[in-house]
Amino acid sequence: MPDSIRKVNVIGHLNPDTDSICAAISYAYLKNQLDPSTIYEARRAGAVNRETGYALKHFGFEEPRLITSVLPQLKDLDLKEQAGIDAETSLYVAWNLMREVGAGTLAITDSKRKLQGVIAVQDVAKANMDILDRSSLAAAKTNYVNILDTLNAVMVVGDPKGAIHSGEVCVGTTPEAMEGVVKPGDTVLVTDRVESQRFALEAGAACLVVCCEANVSDEIKQLAASKGATIIATEYDTYATARLISMSVPVRAKMLPAEKVESFSLNTSVEEAQKTMARTGHRLFPVSDEEGNYFALVSGGDMVNPQKKRVILVDHAEVSQMVEGMDEAEILEVVDHHRVGTLETPGPIFYRLQPVGCTCTIIYEMFQENGIEIPSNIAGLMMSAILSDTLCFRSPTCTPRDVYVGKELAKICGEDPDTYSDAMFDAGADLEGRTAEEVFNSDFKIFSRGNVSFGVGQGSYMTENSRKAGEELLEPYFADAAKIKNVPMIFYMFTDIKSQTTEMLYWGTGAERLCARAFDCEAKDGMAVLPGVVSRKKQVIPAMMNTLAKLEAEE
């Protein structure tokens, strides 16, 4: 794809929250207005939680497409779409096509471009060298069209649309030599000797191939017609005809069928494809498009210097929160409101980091700076993100700028922030039909300090009953979550929005000590009550990081 119209993925963090999704959609919209020469697409790095789903549905948006990796894929290569050949194509035509295009392998497809198999140059060579196989034409039900094309021949008697269904191929020199050799159904190669032609037909030959441009008498034509036999005339001599006729077999008879072919899709990563190539030792592999139709053949040489995926990161800059393969992507921009994370880039990039409560607050300012009008539905998403991240302006992370922007966006979309946020938070707290894994991953992030890593999740609740229900659902899942996420300590914030109190549940060796020291509280039986603590970003993570630094210094 030409660089001027290449796509840029706008991605939030893993286990996306409302700000992560809404910021990706809103910023992609802004970038598309500012740069029509490039396609900016919002993507999600995980499942959308119910709170975010409520916001998307309320303002008429579909979930962004999922992206789990930005490793280079086969679709990032300079692959040109290639046509497959029909299964009835002769080996002769396939061989000439290979020489013409310089390819050692051809894909065989049906009329809908579905892969049926592949034929390689060694398959054609093997068929050509197998001179003792005299029944290959009948075994493959070879049609006469292929034979006529391969031998540059004409049909003298018979139906060109027919095919050979039985018998073997043999050479008829004299009647004496053919006696006991030619059997009913055979294909016999003869010259201009009428007695040999007659004998072959009387012996039951189904097809005569008359070589050397020899004439066929009316008598022989009539005899062939009366016996239902076919006569073909070719300019080639008997030797050339004998060598060439086996090449009229259709490629389907010699191909490797699709179910035995190692193949890829355009979405296969380059790394995975290279591993498969090294394991199998083959040189060319078919590639299908997103609809499962054959697209092209790929070789190892095509995978040199693939184009990197181009991405913009919103609402995160921690490597642990990024999709797989970010170190092999081209990061163009970061728009975030968290601490400076562990991201490293090979060169300078656009990096906008502001100490506000929500990424969408920053994006609102970028709309204003560029003079781009905010549509009401985009304004609704951005308002939802601000209300979510600031707990409807109650969180200590909330700044006056967040309050101003949130209320301005509410005017554009025509919503009352208090009424709307109550409905959005209630939707997010609804546990009906949800698994512990689903609820756990709805807002969970991994952090690290030195050699210590830990995960912190958060759920916001409007009522005590819904909060307690969340605790009962998630606490038994912590041990499994720690194994899946590969972290030794799990912390989960169950935050009561109205009372602005968090009940912190924890799991893992050292978790109780870290919790008690970080918040100077009583941590017991897997729980600590933290009055006034509602912000993971501003109140929890800094306290834990500082405590880990002190514990490290003490050891």
User: Do 332 and 281 have their domain in common?
Assistant: no
Domain that holds residue 172: 141-248
- Helical packing angle, 464-474 and 417-429, nearest 10°: 30
- The beta strands (E) that lie in 139-223 are given as 154-157, 169-171, 187-190, 207-210
H-helix or E-strand spanning residue 220:
helix 218-226
User: Do 40 and 104 have their domain in common?
Assistant: no
Model pTM greater than 0.75? no
Looking up tokens 């796509």 gives 7
User: Do 122 and 257 have their domain in common?
Assistant: yes
User: Do 8 and 85 have their domain in common?
Assistant: no
User: Do 185 and 242 have their domain in common?
Assistant: yes
Q: Is residue 133 one of the residues assigned to a domain?
A: no
Q: Return the CATH number at 463.
A: 3.10.310.20
Q: Is residue 50 one of the residues assigned to a domain?
A: yes
156-180 pLDDT, tens per residue? 999 999 999 999 999 998 999 999 8
User: Do 81 and 68 have their domain in common?
Assistant: no
Contacts of residue 109, defined as CB under 8 A and 6 or more positions apart, other chains included, come to 83, 84, 85, 86, 115, 116, 294
411-462 pLDDT, tens per residue? 999 999 999 999 999 888 888 888 999 999 988 999 998 889 999 999 988 8
Q: Is residue 132 one of the residues assigned to a domain?
A: no
Last residue of a domain, one of 303, 336, 371: 303
User: Do 172 and 191 have their domain in common?
Assistant: yes
The tokens describing 517, both together, are 């020291």
User: Do 312 and 423 have their domain in common?
Assistant: yes
Pairing mode, if any, of strands 256-257 and 230-233?
unpaired
Residue 40 sits at the vertex; the CA angle it makes with 36 and 42, to the nearest 5 degrees, is: 150
- % helix, strand, coil for the chain, step of 5: 40, 20, 35
Q: How confident is the model at residue 2 (pLDDT cuts 50, 70, 90)?
A: very low
User: Do 341 and 413 have their domain in common?
Assistant: yes
261-313 pLDDT, tens per residue? 989 999 999 989 998 888 886 788 999 998 899 999 998 888 888 888 999 99
Q: Return the CATH number at 97.
A: 3.10.580.10
How deeply is 335 buried, as exposed, middle or buried, from its count of CB atoms within 10 A (0-12, 13-18, 19+)? buried
Q: Is residue 298 one of the residues assigned to a domain?
A: yes
Contacts of residue 177, defined as CB under 8 A and 6 or more positions apart, other chains included, come to none
367-411 pLDDT, tens per residue? 999 999 999 999 999 999 999 999 999 888 899 999 999 999 999
User: Do 91 and 63 have their domain in common?
Assistant: no
Total domains present in the chain: 4
The tokens describing 496, both together, are 């009561």
User: Do 185 and 102 have their domain in common?
Assistant: no
Contacts of residue 340, defined as CB under 8 A and 6 or more positions apart, other chains included, come to 317, 353
Last residue of a domain, one of 427, 451, 472: 427
User: Do 377 and 517 have their domain in common?
Assistant: no
104-153 pLDDT, tens per residue? 899 999 999 999 999 999 889 888 887 778 899 999 999 999 999 999 99
Q: Is residue 135 one of the residues assigned to a domain?
A: no
Do the beta carbons of residue 114 and residue 292 sit within 8 Å?
Answer: yes
Do the beta carbons of residue 380 and residue 58 sit within 8 Å?
Answer: yes
